[in-house]
């Protein structure tokens, strides 16, 4: 899977046909706007159309837009036209587009992303919180949610030496999802507790075979936007895998969550800060 921008994808005609398969009235309206070249006139010149794709297949789409159906110019940006095709539902694929919209808004310096909807209990699954009810351009009530951007400070973790237990070694199967096989050692830090009340989970890099225990250095943190816990990234051999390698290695599980990766900014690992110091 990858995220593309409709307008820079190089294949707008193909993706327009895919959007036209939507069984949703708003999706058909979006198809009309694109076909008539009125997308930017309505939503703003800087607005984007984000596509979650797999080969030639369109999984989901949403806009990252300056304007939305709520006539409030002071509110921006908006995630709108949020849609997942029926055959891909149930795996929270939309979360990857909202995650991308979050990252765009953060890079653009905004404090949050707004979403207007009639749904209740849906966007809460994606880390959004209900803000208030507002009226759209036709005078109908809409529920407005916000996905707030809250930068995290993990400076106290970088270089921290930790030890723990691997309860899901390489090659093991997830206890509730048998289709999920662990390509990396996954476990927890002994005696350190996370936001969910359980011991702190870790992805362990630097050892290519299944192990039962580990000792290593915290080099990154995967902050989940729609969960109460973070995942620490630990290196056992002093190596610093690049961002893409980390994200690819943990995607087998993190594809079902929204998150952002924070990396230790220093170039040289420190090994003199022991757990509990």
Same-domain check for residues 9 and 99: yes
Q: What is the CATH number of the domain that holds 129?
A: 3.40.630.30
Mean pLDDT score of the chain, rounded to an integer? 93
Same-domain check for residues 11 and 130: yes
**Single pTM value for the model:** 0.89
Q: Which residue, of 113, 148, 183, is where some domain finishes? A: 148
Same-domain check for residues 111 and 71: yes
Instruction: Say what the pLDDT of residue 196 is.
Output: 82
Q: Note the pLDDT tens digit of each residue in 69-114.
A: 999 999 999 999 999 999 999 888 999 999 999 999 999 999 999 9
Q: Is residue 268 part of a domain?
A: no
Q: Which residue, of 119, 148, 177, is where some domain finishes? A: 148
Same-domain check for residues 141 and 27: yes
Q: Which residue, of 148, 170, 200, is where some domain finishes? A: 148
Strand partners, 64: 48, 79
Same-domain check for residues 202 and 122: no
Q: Is residue 101 part of a domain?
A: yes
Q: Is residue 130 part of a domain?
A: yes
Count up the domains in the chain and report the number.
2
Q: Note the pLDDT tens digit of each residue in 165-204.
A: 999 999 999 988 899 999 999 999 999 999 888 999 999 9
Same-domain check for residues 138 and 186: no
Q: Is residue 36 part of a domain?
A: yes
Sign of CA dihedral 150, 249, 57, 174: negative
Q: Is residue 274 part of a domain?
A: no
Provide the domain limits for residue 171: 161-263
Q: What is the CATH number of the domain that holds 166?
A: 3.90.80.10
Same-domain check for residues 82 and 181: no
Q: Is residue 155 part of a domain?
A: no
In Å, what is the CA distance from 140 to each residue of 118, 131, 133, 137? Answer: 10, 17, 10, 8
SS (HEC) of the chain:
CEEEEHHHCCCHHHHHHHHCCCCCHHHHHHHHHHHCCCHHHHHCCCCEEEEEEECCEEEEEEEEECCCCCCCCCCCCEEEEEEECHHHCCCCCHHHHHHHHHHHHHHCCCCEEEEEECCCCCHHHHCCEEEEEEECCCCCEEEEEEEECCCCCCCCCCCEEEEEEEEECCCCECCCCCCCECCCEEEEEEEEECCCCCEEEEEEECCCCCCCEEEEEEEEEEEECCCCCEEEEEECCCCCCCHHHHHHHHHHHHCCCCEEEEECCCCCCCCCECCCC
Same-domain check for residues 114 and 168: no
């Amino acid at each position: 899977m990858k995220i593309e921008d409709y307008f820079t994808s190089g294949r707008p005609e193909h993706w327009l046909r895919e959007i036209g398969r939507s069984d949703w009235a708003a999706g058909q309206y979006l198809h009309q706007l694109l076909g008539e070249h009125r997308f930017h006139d309505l939503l703003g010149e800087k607005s984007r159309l984000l596509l979650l794709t797999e080969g030639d297949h369109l999984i989901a789409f949403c806009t990252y837009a300056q304007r939305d159906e709520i006539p409030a110019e002071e509110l921006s940006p908006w995630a709108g036209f949020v849609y997942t095709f029926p055959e891909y539902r149930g795996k929270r694929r939309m979360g990857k587009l909202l995650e991308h919209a979050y990252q765009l808004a953060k890079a653009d310096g905004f404090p949050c992303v707004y979403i207007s909807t009639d749904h209740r209990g849906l966007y809460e699954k994606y880390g959004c919180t209900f803000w208030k009810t507002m009226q759209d351009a036709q005078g109908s009530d809409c529920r407005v949610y916000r996905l707030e951007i809250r930068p995290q400070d993990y400076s106290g973790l970088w270089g921290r030496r930790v030890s723990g237990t691997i309860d899901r070694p390489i090659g093991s199967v997830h206890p509730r999802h048998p289709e999920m096989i662990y390509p990396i050692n996954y476990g927890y830090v002994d005696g350190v507790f996370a936001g969910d009340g359980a011991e702190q989970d870790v992805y362990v890099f630097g050892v290519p075979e299944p192990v039962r225990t580990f000792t290593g250095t915290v080099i990154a943190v995967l902050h989940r936007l729609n969960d109460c816990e973070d995942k620490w990234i630990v290196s056992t051999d002093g190596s610093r895998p690049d961002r893409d390698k980390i994200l690819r290695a943990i995607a087998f599980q993190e594809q079902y969550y929204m998150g952002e990766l924070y990396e230790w900014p220093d170039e040289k690992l420190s090994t003199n800060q022991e757990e509990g110091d």
